[in-house]
A = this chain, B = another copy of it.
Amino acid sequence: MRHSAIRKSFEEFLRERDLKLTPQRIRVFERAFGTHEHFSAEEFYSWMRQEDGPRVSRATVYRTLALLVEGGFLECLDTGSGETLFEHVVGHRHHDHLVCSECGRIEEFFDEEIEMRQQAIAEKFGFELETHSMRLFGLCPSCRREARRAAAD
């Protein structure tokens, strides 16, 4: 989906729910879709303070990010570090994450076979599968090298 189409569907989403299109919501939306990074709410708020544009308070950042998740524009990705990370999902294919347990680096991957087995498992238990979260934790290539170097001393 192109950016303009996503933006349209965001405006549509607001209209459907009788929510208003405010400068703050526009800015949060645009910024969230203007990055390919994963970000935390606090990080996002710091971008709001540093960059130009309509002032957006911390409360509005939290409220708007939650709204975007509800609307299915963003997804939460929780790395186990206490803070929730967000990433945009509309216009992107579903994927899961590899997280470096040392430096936090994140890689994305998708595996058709795993997706199918997940569906089969949910069915076996009588669950209606909605979403899933899969994170693989381990040492990324550079942290492995680092670890080997340290071990050699």
**A residues whose Cβ falls under 8 Å from a Cβ of B:** 76, 78, 80, 84, 98, 100-101, 107, 109, 111, 113-114, 117-118, 121-122, 124-141, 144
Contact = CB atoms under 8 A, between A and B. Distances in A.
Contacts of A132: 134-137
B109 A125 contact: yes
How many copies of this chain sit in the oligomeric assembly?
A: 2
A117 B111 contact: yes
Q: Name the prevailing secondary structure of the A interface residues.
A: strand
Nearest to A119: B136
Contact of A125 (B107, B121, B137): B107
A11 B127 CA distance: 40
Given A80-B78, A126-B144, A128-B144, A121 B133 contact: no
B122 A128 contact: no
A141 B114 contact: no
A100 to B, nearest CB: 7
Nearest to A135: B133
A98 B113 contact: no
A126 B132 CA distance: 24
Contacts of A111: 117, 121
A126 to B, nearest CB: 4
Nearest to A76: B80
22 contacts: A78-B80, A98-B121, A98-B122, A100-B127, A109-B124, A111-B117, A113-B113, A113-B117, A114-B114, A114-B117, A114-B118, A118-B136, A122-B138, A125-B140, A126-B140, A126-B144, A127-B140, A127-B141, A130-B138, A131-B137, A132-B136, A133-B133
